[in-house]
Amino acid sequence: MPCVVSDPTDRRRRPSGWHRLIGETRESLSMALDSVVSHKLRSGLTLLGIMIGVFSIIVVMTVLRVLDTNAQESLSELGPHTFRVKRTPPFFFSSSKERRKVRAREPITWRQCREVIRRAKLPISIGVEEGFTNGTVRSEFAETNPDISLRGVTPEVFPARVWDLEDGRPIQDADVDSSRLVCVLSNGLAKKLFPHSEAVGDRITFDGLAYRVIGVLEKKGQMGGDEDSFVAVPISTGLQRYSNPWVSLGIVVQAAGEELYEETVEEVRGIMRVLRRTPLGEADDFEIVSNDSLMEQFREVTFAVRAGVSVISSVALLAAGIGIMNIMLISVTERTKEIGVRRAIGARKRMILTQFIVEAVILCLLGGIVGVVLGVSTGNILSFFFKTPVVLPFDWVAYGLGICTLVGVVFGAYPAFKAANIDPIDALRYE
């Protein structure tokens, strides 16, 4: 048992407070490690408990993070500092009365879009878009299911939605001005329609009309589904064929930068209110949607579940903490004599306290590290199923280890306190 007796020949040199603290900590550490090693079985079981507790938290947090990333990816359809103005919100969860009110909103017309483009000064670009209809797309080689959406767009939509081209050119102002029968295909759709040849330059038919393919978009993200099965045509071409009094267009606005974002939103909101003659004091009769607002809504909806799961997952660590406390108490009782000897030859209460708390913390941290590794890897097996990139919740790893230390300190405190307050005489006499 290593214990420090200061060398009598060295009595003149009084160590400074700082040195003493370092010395005490080092000594506590070596003693704690010794005792952990000497009771392998006991320490091992305690470690196992903590490990499972941490594993439970980390695996749940990793899974939540994976789901979150997944949702974020599928909801992020817009570029940076970009927002959309729409007639109706994308999700809806409120009462039927509200719903009726939203349904009664006037459509956003082409005239309103033109006015917004003319009046707004802050945005760097304003695009107009609308998903007109779904249907079957045919090429001379293949035919799709009738669930491909036909979207009318203006050239500005391309940068706003971060549509990069793999081949060909985007839709340009000239296409819109003269309502040309041209189209840009999403990547997956182009691969399906033209499996062995280049799509650009060829023709497709949609709803009885032939369009010339002028471009193919790059593959976007992991999300196959909706984002990868559409045909983009000039908005004027779409309006010519599918316009009716209820068609409501969407406006995509790109702000000049992060710092101008709020101002841009307010400018566009003001213009829209004027154009739609919304009375002062009334709520907007349109929606402004951004990636952030979508994510926020998603988080709000899932908040209760995530909070509940977080609480449930930390219960195991609580049970493990109680296990630590129990083992530390036993350890204190067993080592009463040792404590008595240390006290008798001059160890302070504080040193005993440090010794036992350090021991508890070491147990917790060792278990915690293993638990974090296991938890992160198990959680990421799920990300494999969701085909999302691997997630390393660094913040939760840090929290996890922090919580471990805290558990060690909290549940080690009582046994350590008990040890520190043993009367040296009683302790030496203890059998």
Partner 1 sequence: MRILHELGEGLRIALEAVRAHKLRSALATLGIVIGVFTVTLMATAIEGLNNAFTNSISAIGSDVLYIQRFSWGPTDEWWKIRARQPITMAQGKRLEERATMAEAVSMESRANETVKFEDRTASGVNVSGVLASSAQVHGVDLSDGRYLNEAEVDGARPVCILGATLSESLFPRGDGVGEWVAIGNARYQVIGVSARVGNFAFGDLDNQVTVPLTRLAGDFVSNPEVTLTVKVGTDAPMEEVQEELRWIMRAIRKVPLGEDDDFSINNQQSLLDTFGKFSAIAGSAGLFITGLSLFVGGIGIMNVMFVSVTERTQEIGVRKALGAKYRAILTQFLAEAATICVFGGLLALALAWGATQVTKQWLPATISPTIATLALSISATVGIIAGFLPAHRAARMKPVDALRSE
Token pair, residue 359, equals 């021991």
Q: Which is nearer to partner 1, 25 or 136 (CB)?
A: 136
Please say whether the beta carbons of 253 and 289 come within 8 A.
Answer: no
Please say whether the beta carbons of 108 and 289 come within 8 A.
Answer: no
Q: How far is the CB of 292 from partner 1 (least distance, A)?
A: 29
Q: Which is nearer to partner 1, 240 or 310 (CB)?
A: 310
Q: How far is the CB of 56 from partner 1 (least distance, A)?
A: 5
Q: How far is the CB of 303 from partner 1 (least distance, A)?
A: 17
Please say whether the beta carbons of 49 and 324 come within 8 A.
Answer: yes
Q: How far is the CB of 333 from partner 1 (least distance, A)?
A: 9
Q: Which is nearer to partner 1, 49 or 238 (CB)?
A: 49
Q: How far is the CB of 43 from partner 1 (least distance, A)?
A: 9
Q: How far is the CB of 208 from partner 1 (least distance, A)?
A: 17
If 0-12 CB within 10 Å is exposed, 13-18 middle and 19+ buried, where does residue 191 land?
middle
Q: Which is nearer to partner 1, 271 or 329 (CB)?
A: 329
Q: Which is nearer to partner 1, 60 or 184 (CB)?
A: 60
Q: Which is nearer to partner 1, 88 or 326 (CB)?
A: 326
Type of residue at 310: S
Please say whether the beta carbons of 247 and 239 come within 8 A.
Answer: yes
Contacts to partner 1 by CB under 8 A: 41-42, 45-46, 48-49, 52-53, 55-56, 60, 134, 145-147, 309, 312-313, 315-316, 318-320, 322-323, 325-327, 329-330
Distance CA 79, CA 98 (A): 30
Q: How far is the CB of 219 from partner 1 (least distance, A)?
A: 23
Distance CA 60, CA 374 (A): 12
The position carrying tokens 């691969």 is 191
Q: Which is nearer to partner 1, 36 or 52 (CB)?
A: 52
Judging by DSSP bridges, how do beta strands 182-185 and 230-234 pair with one another?
antiparallel
Please say whether the beta carbons of 153 and 171 come within 8 A.
Answer: yes
Q: Which is nearer to partner 1, 56 or 290 (CB)?
A: 56
Rounding to the nearest 10 degrees, give the CA dihedral for residues 335, 357, 401, 24. Answer: -110
Please say whether the beta carbons of 79 and 160 come within 8 A.
Answer: yes
Q: Which is nearer to partner 1, 153 or 193 (CB)?
A: 193
Judging by DSSP bridges, how do beta strands 287-290 and 82-86 pair with one another?
antiparallel
Please say whether the beta carbons of 179 and 234 come within 8 A.
Answer: yes
Longest dimension (CA), the chain: 104
Q: Which is nearer to partner 1, 45 or 381 (CB)?
A: 45
Using the Cα atoms of residue 404, residue 405, residue 408 and residue 414 in order, give the sign of their dihedral: negative
Q: Which is nearer to partner 1, 135 or 234 (CB)?
A: 135
Q: How far is the CB of 96 from partner 1 (least distance, A)?
A: 9
Please say whether the beta carbons of 404 and 50 come within 8 A.
Answer: yes
Beta bridge partner(s), residue 204: 211
Token pair, residue 212, equals 């010339």
Q: How far is the CB of 48 from partner 1 (least distance, A)?
A: 6
Scanning 76-129, the segments in alpha helix (DSSP H) are 96-103, 110-119
Smallest CA-to-CA distance from 407 within 355, 333, 357, 354 is with: 357
Q: Which is nearer to partner 1, 78 or 403 (CB)?
A: 403
Q: How far is the CB of 405 from partner 1 (least distance, A)?
A: 18
Distance CA 427, CA 345 (A): 13
Q: How far is the CB of 3 from partner 1 (least distance, A)?
A: 21
Q: How far is the CB of 343 from partner 1 (least distance, A)?
A: 22
Distance CA 98, CA 320 (A): 49
